[in-house]
Structure 1
């Protein structure tokens, strides 16, 4: 129960609300992307139905937890290792309008919004900021254009970030000292404005427990 959560910790809810992913699933990804180009009104009609569901479901959740949460995580996976899965213009047309509605709804309940998308999404971070997103999740460490130093320089005064500790190679194959060094580097780049965590929300079974401990030990170290 939320009421049993520690009072000195951030209380986070997760209402995935992945309208882009679900609309694509309704058609099949290839057909959905083709409809965006050839039949956008058909794609948008289905997306509107998905959005209606999420706005209603989220309202039920927010009402039930009113005053008991600090933040919520929502999102859509729209990035690959090398770039966006669709053009920035298409993201702005088909994804950002829904993001704005979902973010505004969460803000009405006094919640900070963590917006998730895997991959290289640097080209649309300004659009997420304009949509009202408070925290971008994650910094996928090995994705193109997601270098922490550059993200801090370009966006650090406009939005916070979460992630940065690579789960594709470092946490799997690195030593505990290499993990600690990366965490310390991230803390130096982001004295504030970064929630240090694995670069994906899931830590897979191939990550040694010692590396998980090293991450959290260094992240909570008082210098």
Structure 2
């Protein structure tokens, strides 16, 4: 099997020669040590030699206020480029003092148009850089729930979900419309060349959902469903990301048509692989399982290999083996990543 055949078999929970595997998206701080260990010059070369089945492509986005699509909204209305280190959901956004939809409209927020800031030619160029046999995955993120929280400030937003839900829906709908249009631009530009997209919202803590299942169903799932429908209309599979314990939300994501749940954050409550297999076997596939909280940073290569063997036993198919957080940190020894890939790539 090549990487794409293995990926599609995994999504459909059909037999595979060995599990599909994804390195994730290492942080800039983690990349140098990995490249040095594998004797390569950059992350693109690393993905080619480590055994990764995937080639992730960040959807290119450049506006006057940001250089990444996950920070497209200038909620502070100060023209700043909000980078990943300084983004927060807790600071009060421009709608913090709003009490109704009229107040929101009076703010005169400049809603960005992705058509102005996504270059289809650049999308094609980035996708064409992928090796022919790899699974090309567009990283849209589309974290509309998190964006809505940032627009109000998280505490304000969560209270408004109860006291003024129409106002929250108004903002969330505009954000979802932005991501739907962005996704259409990307998939139209790269038609037939992309096999998967990653979208998601962090809605889980270590012990459970941050909001009730009822609120997840009302405020998170409709946006997910719209994005899934667009992706599926282009024949593209959907990986849905949320950190934390989201076991109570998984049935809603299945109903929305999500193909793969990412990640299996195994130390979060209810997210251990066997529990997920028992609850959702035959309904959805998963990605993750190799713990990044304790095992990868502090374990030995032998322990990492043992975990991969265990995951392969629980999920002979239906699981993309990967670190349990896509943003691999620089506290993970490269030899543990090699141990993960070495064990995944064995044909039993």
User: Which aligned pairs between 1:24-43 and structure 2 lie closer than 5 A?
Assistant: 24-43=149-168
Alignment of 1:107-122 (within 5 A): 107-122=232-247
What is the alpha-carbon distance in structure 1 between the residues aligned to residue 306 and residue 177 of structure 2? Answer: 45
CA distance in 2, matches of 1:39, 1:17: 23
- Secondary structure (helix, strand or coil) at the match of 1:197 reads strand
- The whole-number CA distance in structure 2 between the counterparts of 1:148 and 1:103 is 24
Partner-residue secondary structure (3-state), 2:159: helix
Structure 2 residue aligned with 1:64: 189
Match of 2:25 in 1: none
Instruction: Find the counterpart in structure 1 of residue 8 from structure 2.
Output: none
Which residue of structure 2 lines up, in the alignment, with residue 183 of structure 1?
Answer: 308
Q: d(CA) in 2 for partners of 1:160 and 1:114?
A: 9
Q: Distance in 1 between matches of 2:275 and 2:174?
A: 38
1:16 corresponds to 2:141: yes
The structural deviation recorded for 1:88 is 0.3
Deviating beyond 4 angstroms after TM superposition, the runs of 4 or more aligned structure 1 residues are none
Q: Partners of 2:286 and 2:312 in 1: how far apart?
A: 12
- The reply to whether residue 143 of structure 1 matches residue 280 of structure 2 is no
Please name the residue that 2:285 is paired with.
Answer: 160
The CA RMSD over aligned residues, in Å, is: 0.8
Alpha-carbon offset, residue 4 of structure 1: 3.3
Gapped runs of 5+ residues in structure 1?
Answer: none
Structure with the larger helix share: 1
In structure 1, how many angstroms separate the alpha carbons of the residues matched to 2:287 and 2:281? 12
For residues 173 and 81 of structure 1, the distance between their equivalents in structure 2, rounded to whole angstroms, comes to 19
Deviates more, 1:55-64 or 1:70-79: 55-64
Local SS of the residue matching 1:74? strand
Between the aligned partners of 1:5 and 1:209, the Cα distance in structure 2 is: 23
Distance 1:15 1:156 in 2: 27
Q: Give the equivalent residue in structure 1 for 2:294.
A: 169
Instruction: Encode CA deviations 1:125-179: one digit per residue, 9 max, x unaligned.
Output: 0110000000000000100000101111211201000000000000011011000
Q: How many residues align?
A: 223
**Rg larger in 1 or in 2?**
2
Q: Secondary structure at the match of 1:157?
A: coil
Counterpart of 1:221? 346
Aligned to 1:122, the other structure's residue is in SS state coil
The offset of 1:6, in angstroms, is 2.1
CA–CA separation in structure 2 for the residues paired with 1:166 and 1:105: 32
What is the Cα deviation at residue 83 of structure 1?
Answer: 0.2
Higher relative contact order (CA 8 A, sep 6+): 2
Structure 2: gaps spanning 5 or more residues: 1-125
